[in-house]
Each structure stands twice: as C-alpha cells, then as structure tokens.
Amino acid sequence: MLVSVLEGHRIWAPHYDQYRNPLLDLEMRILPDILSPVSSRHLLDLACGTGRWMEYLSHRGACVFGADICGEMLAQAEKKQHSRGRSVIADIAQLPFPDNFADIVLCSLAAGYLPSIQSALAEMARAAKREGRVIISDLHPAGMSSGWTRSFRLGGNVYELENFSPSVAEICAAGDRAGLRLYMQSEFCFGEPERHYFREAGKEHLYRGLCGQPAIWVGVWKKA
C-alpha cells in the first residue's frame, strides 16, 4: 500500500521504537564515530522522528534540538527524558531556527523523503555555524536500484512510503550550490553485527548476498 511520507509516519509512529531492522543498527554502528565529537556541541537533528538520535547524543553531552513534520512521531519523542520539550513540527526546507545555530546538523535516513534536496540542504547550511558540519545518512542508491523499498509491515499490511531518492551526485551538487564544502563521503555494508536479523528471519542467504553491497551512504560537509 503506497502512502505519503506524512501519513506513513503517522501510522508507524506508535510502533516505530519496537521496529528494529539491520539498516537502523548499521547506522547506529557507523554514525557515532562520524558525529564525534559531540560533547558541549549544539546539534540539530532533522527528521528526528521518535528522538532516537536525540537521546543518544544528549547522553553524550550534546545540546540537541529536533524537527520533524510528523506530530505523532514527535509525541513519541516527548515521552523520552532527553527529547522532551526540545523538538518542533517543521519542514526541513523551512526551519524555525536562526542562522548559524548548530555546530552539527544531522539528517538521518530521511533524504530520500525530501521533495527538494536542494531546498533542504540550503536550510541545513543556513542553520549551521561557520565551520560547522552538515551530515546526511541515507539508504544507499545501490539498494534502491536492487529493489529495496522504504516500507514497513504492520497488522498484516505492508506500507510503502512515497519517496524521491536523489542520487549521490544530486545530493553532492545540492551541497555545492548551498555553499557547503564536501568533507567526506563513504558507503557502508552490513556486517557480522547485523547478521542475526537475517538468521532470525530465515534469510541468512540474503545476508551473504548483501554483505558486499553498500547499504548506507553518508556525506559530511563543512560550512565555510
């Protein structure tokens, strides 16, 4: 069932934190080193959802604020100690934060849902401090080309979320036009820590096939 990004996340919100998958765990494994250092930094988590990264980063000394278009997702974030009162309903292309606000601006696993990656990166650049970092992680385009979908299963139904999935070249070009300097980009594959998901689902053969295929792409920019 194809649904809009907003409607899909409204349905998903009450169950999202119970929904674990290898992609989320892979991202949780690779991003901390890329985000570091975070202690005493002002950090803006865009498309923050239920506050997954807000909680993690707050526990490590960051001053974190979040934004998401889905109020139902933010209602779940409000239940968590370090996310409470620190998020706002907002479109990434129209952020209610001042210029030069954050040392780090993060957009995690959401770039493919954005109608205009250009408008989003322009706002992310505006909200970042000079010499601040803008970090995007997302499902690798190679996965999409192989037939992966942005979807979830709930109550016997499979919900596929509308998406736009810009290419890596399009994302990098948008960063250039936003006045950002690409600092690094990298791709990451599933590894042994994610193997149990496939084993428990009786699909370990898929794990062997996916090991060498990039699952997540990460880009890091600096603001001049």
Report whether pLDDT(197) > 90. no
Rounded mean pLDDT, 135-154: 88
Q: Pick the residue with more confidence: 205 or 222?
A: 222
> What structural domains and CATH numbers belong to the chain?
2-223 (3.40.50.150)
* Confidence at 203, pLDDT banded by 50, 70, 90: confident
Mean pLDDT over the full length of the chain? 94
Q: State the pLDDT at residue 146.
A: 73
Rounded mean pLDDT, 198-208: 80
- Neighbouring residues of 37: CB distance < 8 A, sequence distance ≥ 6: none
Distance in angstroms (rounded) separating the CA atoms of residues 81 and 103 = 22
- Give me the residue label for tokens 């892979």: 26
Q: State the pLDDT at residue 185.
A: 97
Q: Which helix (H) or strand (E) holds 14?
A: none
Are the beta carbons of 165 and 137 closer than 8 angstroms?
A: no
- Give me the residue label for tokens 């889905």: 70
The dihedral built from the CA positions of residue 146, 142, 113 and 21, taken in this order, carries a sign that is positive
* Confidence at 212, pLDDT banded by 50, 70, 90: confident
- Give me the residue label for tokens 């169950």: 15
Least confident of 56-70, 86-100, 136-150, 167-181: 136-150
- pTM higher than 0.85: yes
Q: State the pLDDT at residue 148.
A: 82
Q: State the pLDDT at residue 205.
A: 79
Of 114, 116, 167, the C-alpha closest to 140 is 167
